[in-house]
Amino acid sequence: MKLWNRKKPHFPLLVFVFSLFLVFSILHNERSILQIQDHPDHAPRHQILVTYVKPNRLTRQNHVTEVLDRFSTCNSTREYSGRKIAWTDNLTPEPDNGGSRRENLESCDVFSGKWVYDNSTYPLYNESECPYMSDQLACHKHGRSDLDYQYWRWQPHNCNLKRWNVIDMWEKLRGKRLMFVGDSLNRGQWISMVCLLQSVIPKDKRSMSPNAALTIFRAEEYNATVEFLWAPLLVESNSDDPVNHRLEDRIIRPDSVVKHASIWENADILIFNSYLWWRQGAVKLLSREWKPGNEGNCYSEKSPIELEGYWGSGSDLPTMSMVDNVLSKLSSKVSVLNITQLSEYRKDGHPSIYRKFLEALKPEQLSNPASYSDCIHWCLPGVPDVWNELIYHFL
């Protein structure tokens, strides 16, 4: 099945795959990052077991169905040595073959730059003025008084990003489906995109479907939709329920995407992310990455990392290289927008304790805020807005 092609598209299908390699690296305690996707206070203390189920197949000898119920993962955990992370010689990304890498169409590397404080043009929207804002991401509403995290603009070194223009973006989306597919991080980016777009659409000309596996924001005037599909592992799994997905035994079918692909195959633009859900084990950061004394937690952080060229201890450059190399060989138009490094600078941009928690916090948690800080997701307005500016830039 060809998943990426449509008959007579308005423009070639563009698939953005966001390499969110940073988010798993910012937890202070030993809880598995897979257990706090949405609500850190829900996380059990023991590690999740992952079961890979291989689809049934016929053996060549007697055409009898062979069933393999589980096999071991290829993941491994290594303690960070403190050495600077660099590309290894045999994993250097292959040269572009002339079409699949959108970023090579630009005159400079927009992912190499710095965060510039800009309280004159940012934020691009107000938290309180977006009716679709999530309480899990509305940090100011839930008590965060320092708002500097809203005022940082990403500035590439040798060029400028295209300035956000909401009308122009809607024209690019006219008659099309823009779909985000993935986990709660991708859902946060989808909410960001909706907040960036919704202000110019009259209330009676826009709608939002009820929360479900597929949630759709629709703009009648442009005959366009901005959609989110909950598929945290992209492939079929027992975590595909958008509400009840925090399970002790996570089961996946690693080469079965038909269930989700039947929903996304007719979309015009797809943004995928599921990296966090494929990571296992707890990861700690070196203390130099955080304010002295907080032992590797985003609680009370109020400024970005200033060290240029910084890579966090959780950055997995060999995996990034592998993704680049594999996707560059696809015949369809697929681009990797590697926002890992620019996001890792922003240790100040996480909700920490300033979000809605669905269950009452225990006294021992309240006495130690760092113990329940959300250091995975991002406050809005904030870092995900820049991810969406990059989408606009490449469209």
User: Where in the sequence numbering do the catalytic residues fall?
Assistant: 184, 374, 377
Tokens 């989306």 sit on residue: 173
Q: Give the residue from 147, 174, 156 showing the smallest Cα distance to 106.
A: 156
Q: Mapping DSSP to helix (H, G, I), strand (E, B) and coil, where does residue 267 land?
A: coil
| CA separation for the pair 105, 368 (Å, rounded) | 49
Q: Give the residue from 207, 54, 42 showing the smallest Cα distance to 132.
A: 207
Q: What is the CA radius of gyration of the chain?
A: 21
Tell whether omega for the bond before 351 is within 30 degrees of 0, i.e. cis.
Answer: no
123: region left, alpha or beta (phi > 0 left; psi from -120 to 50 alpha): beta
The strand pair at 65-68 and 224-230 is best described as unpaired
| CA separation for the pair 139, 143 (Å, rounded) | 6
| CA separation for the pair 392, 163 (Å, rounded) | 9
| CA separation for the pair 260, 252 (Å, rounded) | 13
Q: Mapping DSSP to helix (H, G, I), strand (E, B) and coil, where does residue 60 land?
A: coil
| CA separation for the pair 176, 162 (Å, rounded) | 21
| CA separation for the pair 328, 102 (Å, rounded) | 10
The strand pair at 206-208 and 224-230 is best described as unpaired
How many CA atoms does the CB half-sphere of 125 hold within 13 Å? 30
Rounded to 10 deg, the angle between the 184-197 and 166-173 helix axes is: 110
